[in-house]
């Protein structure tokens, strides 16, 4: 394991119940990341989505992709300290070509695979995919910018 949730919290400002990345197992700066989210029935979103038929919302899958993409972007910045990262945040500018191929349910483990399509300065264009048990469940293109808080 490359990063556990404690290391992730040093990079992302998100906290429970909105921290949606549990670990990172692979990261190649400026290229790609593989991260995981364990989906549990105890998550607050399942109270209303949907009672008696729990489905993890697509928007939460996209947010998890975005968070993994934020980790990739921050870890791709040359010569930046933890203190400097703490004073920056990733804003997502657009989500395009989003597709949801199969439902994600409690007990599933989401595997986020993101790769850099393009990077110019503070702007990142990423291809994101989410898998459960090796099966593609969701995909999207994410555009983001790193800014000062």
- Catalytic site positions: 49
Per-residue H/E/C for the chain:
CCECHHHHHCCCCCCCCCCCCCEEEEEECCCEEEEEEECCCCCHHHHCCCCCCCCCCHHHHHHHHHHHHHHHHHHCCCCCCHHHHHCEEEEEEEEEEEEECCCCCCCCEEEEEEEEEEEECCEEEEEEEEEECCEEEEEEEEEEEEEEC
């Amino acid at each position: 394991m490359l990063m556990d949730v404690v290391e992730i919290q040093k990079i992302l400002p998100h906290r429970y119940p909105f921290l949606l990345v549990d670990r990172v197992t692979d990261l190649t700066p400026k290229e790609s990341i593989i991260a995981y989210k364990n989906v549990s029935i105890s998550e607050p979103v399942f109270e209303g989505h949907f009672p008696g038929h729990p489905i993890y919302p697509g928007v939460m899958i996209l947010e998890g992709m975005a968070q993994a993409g934020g980790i990739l972007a921050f870890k791709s910045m040359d010569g930046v300290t933890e203190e400097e990262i703490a004073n920056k945040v990733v804003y997502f500018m657009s989500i395009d070509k989003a597709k949801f191929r199969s439902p994600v349910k409690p007990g599933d483990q989401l595997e986020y695979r993101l790769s850099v399509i393009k990077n110019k300065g503070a702007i990142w264009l990423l291809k994101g995919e989410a898998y459960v048990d090796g099966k593609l469940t969701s995909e999207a293109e994410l555009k983001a910018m790193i800014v000062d808080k």
